[in-house]
């Protein structure tokens, strides 16, 4: 890597999820990624783009400290004004990224995407097809968080490419690359802590053997907890003198599921051994792991590409017992940091696939309910930790060591920056593919221009109205000032003041030249001033 490679301007897109306050793995890790990039990244020209002008994740001291050191926060509307050497999307939205690059002729740069899962219903249409049919190049990368996810995308890309090639009668293939970088963890926050205080906080018995589950409480998009109740029953029968408790920390995302879950626990006679701790705030998430002797997740969601909670438990020195399923097997080391519980599955997809036509959530539920976890093996694995304090201690220490070595953000961030540098070097050898029109970028004006009665042309005269003259003097206000985040209020005022200083009128071409921004941006703001009555238009000729 060259000495100044890290100084190239990198754009990071961050989507403000409407459900951002909801504690999901995606929301948590995206916030953590940004904080880690600010804390440990070497780039001195980092441009963060958001649906809003401020990023919620950057309200802390780290964001404030770096804000004056080459880190700039932009609204998405400003993306055309920044010359980038690379673009990384945390959502990810392939169509958006390709469209932005296609519309920026000043510089050809690489694009990379962080991927969160590989949902069978969402990924093919929203992710895989744009990768195949869009202007993806050899310098573009899909960053996969686990080997399972990378293999999944290879299958999806190969299958879809084959279908499209046969349908179009020409070769369709993925021209980008699939790279492997796991999600990181803040090992300063997630670290071993004394159990007594945590158990008192969550009202868990001090002398119990606590099996902890952390995550969404739903059988559709995480994992069915009812099998765990039977595990507790079998453990209690084998060890009747031990106080064994299953603590469930998470929000109820399937209405009524908690009632069903505890009704089943009562049927099994273990309702007194199960405790629902409720939703845990993101900023308090690290504290709950101190309660645990073992972390348990019999996850069965087919879109779980990584699984953040087992890594959080790992960093806290808590042995993990998880299903041998998708991304879990990339994080938990069987026999070292914990145990992978065997799973069994079979081809019953013909019936399941039909349900995708009706409801995606129902399909997810059917998939999960068709995956069987070896409960006897799970009981034996937890029993080994229950009866062997030395084993539990060794696995806890090995867990902490693995988290530090493999998933600590100071180790993950340099891997991303090295990838970006490699992609930039590859992009430098490629010429922009100007002949390939963007399939997913619908040009608004040429497509819809027939809707309007007339057009505003470069030679037309833009004239201040009486309202515009008042605005130029500061005696009127901009409607929606500071709201909606689509107009640049300063630019609107600047255009009005320029017109006032020039006798109250100028051609559109002259106004654009004086505005000092892109023609499209200036024209859009002139149209807004006409829309709200601050300016009028006189057609040339």
236/180 Cα distance (integer angstroms): 41
Of 98-107, 184-193, 213-222, the poorest mean pLDDT is in 98-107
Cα-trace Rg, the chain: 28
Helix, strand, or coil here: 69? coil
State pLDDT tens for residues 326-346. 889 999 999 999 999 999 988
DSSP 95: H
Average pLDDT over every residue of 415-439: 84
Residue 347, judged by CB atoms within 10 A of its CB (0-12, 13-18, 19+), counts as exposed
Identify the residue whose tokens are 């693995």. 402
pLDDT for position 19: 45
Residue 254: predicted pLDDT: 85
Q: What is the model's pLDDT at position 101?
A: 84
84 in Cβ contact with 420 (< 8 Å) = no
Of the two residues 154 and 443, the one the predictor is more confident about is: 154
pLDDT at 212: 98
Distance CA 78, CA 74 (A): 6
> For the ranges 137-151, 337-351, 399-413, which has the lowest average pLDDT?
337-351
* Greater pLDDT, 105 or 98: 98
pTM (global) more than 0.75: yes
28-32, 244-248, 495-499: least confidently modelled range:
28-32
- pLDDT at residue 308 in the model: 92
Neighbours of 385 (CB within 10 A): 21
Note the pLDDT of residue 143.
Answer: 95
* Gap between the Cα atoms of 293 and 235, Å rounded: 14
pLDDT band of residue 4 (cuts 50, 70, 90) is very low
pLDDT at 127: 86
Omega before 92 within 30 of 0, i.e. cis = yes
SS3 20: coil
Q: Report the pLDDT value the prediction gives residue 294, as an integer from 0 to 100.
A: 98
E strand residue ranges, 126-193? 141-144, 177-180
DSSP, collapsed to helix, strand or coil, labels residue 207 as: coil
Residue 223 vs residue 153, higher pLDDT: 153
* Token digits of residue 258: 């908690």
The 10s digit of each residue's pLDDT in 358-373 is: 556 677 777 778 889 9
Q: In 3D, which of 184, 182, 189 has the Cα closest to residue 316?
A: 189
Q: Which residues pair with 462 in a beta bridge?
A: 506, 537
Q: Where do the DSSP E strands lie in 63-117?
A: 71-75, 86-89, 111-114
Q: Which pLDDT does position 164 carry in this prediction?
A: 92
Residue 329 in tokens: 């097997």
Residues of the chain with CATH 3.40.50.2000: 195-406
Residue closest to 302 by CA, chosen among 254, 395, 364: 364
3-class DSSP state for residue 236? helix
- pLDDT value for 5: 42
Least confident of 108-112, 132-136, 368-372: 368-372
| pLDDT beyond 90 at 182 | yes
Query: Position of tokens 């909606």?
Result: 484
At 323 the pLDDT is: 96
Say how far apart CA 68 and CA 74 lie, in whole Å: 14
Q: What confidence tens digit (pLDDT) does each residue in 36-72 have? A: 888 888 866 788 887 654 444 454 434 343 444 567 7
Q: What is the DSSP string of 496-537?
A: HHHHHHTTSEEEHHHHHHHH-S-HHHHHHHHHHHHHTTSEEE
Per CATH, domain 5-184+413-427 is 3.30.420: no
Residue written as token pair 């926050």 = 189
Share of the chain above pLDDT 70, in %: 87
**Residue 122 pLDDT:** 65
Tell which wins on pLDDT, 495 or 255.
Answer: 495
Query: Which residues neighbour 164 within 8 Å (Cβ) at sequence distance 6 or greater?
Result: 132, 133, 172
Token output for 89: 């999307």
Report the length, in residues, of the chain: 541
More confident residue, 290 or 21: 290
Out of 224-233, 261-270, 288-297, 303-312, least confident range: 303-312
- Give me the CATH topology for the region 195-406: Rossmann fold (3.40.50)
User: Distance between CA 262 and CA 315 in Å, rounded?
Assistant: 30
Would you tell me how many other CB atoms lie within 10 Å of the CB of residue 69? 11
Helices and strands in the chain: count of H runs, count of E runs:
22, 18
Lowest pLDDT segment from 334-343, 350-359, 478-487: 350-359
Average pLDDT, the chain: 86
Residue 82 confidence (pLDDT):
79
Q: What is the pLDDT of residues 377-409, one digit of tens each?
A: 999 999 999 999 999 999 999 999 999 999 999
Q: Tens digits of per-residue pLDDT, 516-538?
A: 888 988 999 999 999 999 999 99
The pLDDT confidence band at residue 13, using thresholds 50, 70 and 90, is confident
Residue 174 pLDDT level (bands cut at 50, 70, 90): very high
Q: Smallest Cα–Cα separation from 263: which of 297, 240, 229?
A: 229
Sign of the torsion formed by the C-alpha atoms of 196, 198, 201 and 204: negative
1: which 2 tokens?
Answer: 């890597």
Q: 3 pLDDT band (50/70/90 cuts)?
A: very low
C-beta separation of 111 from 98 below 8 A: yes
Three-class SS of 342-362: CEECCCCHHHHHHHCCCCHHH
Band (438; pLDDT cuts 50, 70, 90)? low
% of the chain beyond a pLDDT of 90: 57
Geometric angle at alpha carbon 176, from 172 and 180, rounded to 5°: 130
């Amino acid at each position: 890597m060259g000495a100044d490679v890290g100084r190239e301007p990198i754009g990071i897109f961050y989507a403000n999820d409407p459900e951002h306050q909801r504690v999901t793995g995606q929301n948590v890790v995206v916030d953590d990624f940004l904080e880690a990039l600010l804390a440990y990244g070497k780039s001195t020209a980092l441009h963060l783009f958001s649906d809003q002008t401020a990023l919620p994740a950057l309200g802390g001291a780290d964001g404030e400290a770096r804000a004056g050191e080459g880190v700039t926060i932009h609204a998405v509307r400003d993306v055309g004004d920044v010359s980038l050497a690379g673009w990384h999307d945390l959502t990810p939205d392939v169509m958006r990224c390709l469209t932005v690059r296609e519309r920026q002729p000043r510089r050809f740069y690489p694009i990379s995407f962080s991927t969160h899962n590989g949902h069978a219903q969402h990924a093919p249409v929203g992710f895989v097809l744009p990768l195949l049919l869009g202007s993806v190049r050899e310098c573009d990368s899909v960053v996969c968080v686990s080997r399972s996810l990378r293999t999944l995308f290879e299958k999806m890309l190969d299958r879809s490419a084959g279908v499209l090639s046969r349908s179009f009668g020409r070769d369709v293939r993925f021209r980008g690359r699939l790279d492997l970088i796991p999600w990181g963890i803040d090992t300063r926050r997630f670290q071993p802590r004394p159990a007594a205080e945590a158990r008192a906080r969550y009202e868990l018995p001090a002398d119990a053997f606590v099996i902890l589950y952390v995550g969404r409480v739903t059988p559709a998009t995480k994992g069915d907890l009812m099998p765990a109740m039977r595990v507790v029953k079998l453990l209690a029968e084998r060890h009747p003198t031990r106080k064994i408790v299953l603590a469930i920390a998470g929000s109820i995302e399937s209405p009524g599921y908690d009632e069903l879950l505890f009704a089943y626990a009562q049927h099994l006679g273990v309702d007194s051994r199960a405790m629902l701790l409720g939703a845990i705030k993101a900023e308090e998430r690290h504290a709950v792991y101190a309660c645990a002797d073992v972390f348990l997740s019999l996850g069965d969601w087919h879109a779980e590409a990584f699984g953040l909670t087992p890594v959080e438990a790992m960093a806290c020195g808590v042995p993990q017992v998880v299903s041998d399923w998708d991304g879990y097997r990339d994080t938990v080391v069987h026999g070292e940091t914990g145990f992978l519980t065997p799973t069994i599955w079979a081809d019953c997809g013909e019936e399941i696939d039909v349900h995708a036509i009706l409801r995606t959530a129902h399909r997810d539920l059917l998939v999960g309910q068709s995956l069987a976890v070896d409960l006897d093996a799970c009981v034996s694995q937890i029993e080994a930790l229950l009866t062997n304090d030395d084993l539990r201690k060794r696995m806890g220490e090995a867990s902490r060591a693995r988290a530090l070595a493999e998933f600590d953000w100071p180790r993950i961030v340099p891997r991303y920056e090295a990838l970006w540098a490699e992609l930039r070097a590859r992009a430098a050898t490629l010429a922009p593919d100007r002949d390939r029109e963007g399939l997913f970028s619908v040009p608004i004006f040429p497509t819809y221009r027939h809707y309007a009665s007339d057009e505003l042309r470069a030679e037309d005269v833009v004239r201040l109205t009486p309202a515009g003259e008042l605005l130029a003097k500061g005696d009127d206000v901009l409607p929606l000032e500071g709201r909606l985040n689509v107009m640049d209020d300063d630019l609107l005022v600047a255009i009005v003041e320029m017109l006032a200083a020039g006798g109250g009128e100028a051609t559109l071409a002259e106004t654009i030249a004086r505005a000092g921004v892109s023609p499209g941006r200036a024209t859009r703001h002139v149209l807004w001033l006409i829309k709200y009555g601050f300016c009028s238009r006189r057609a040339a000729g």
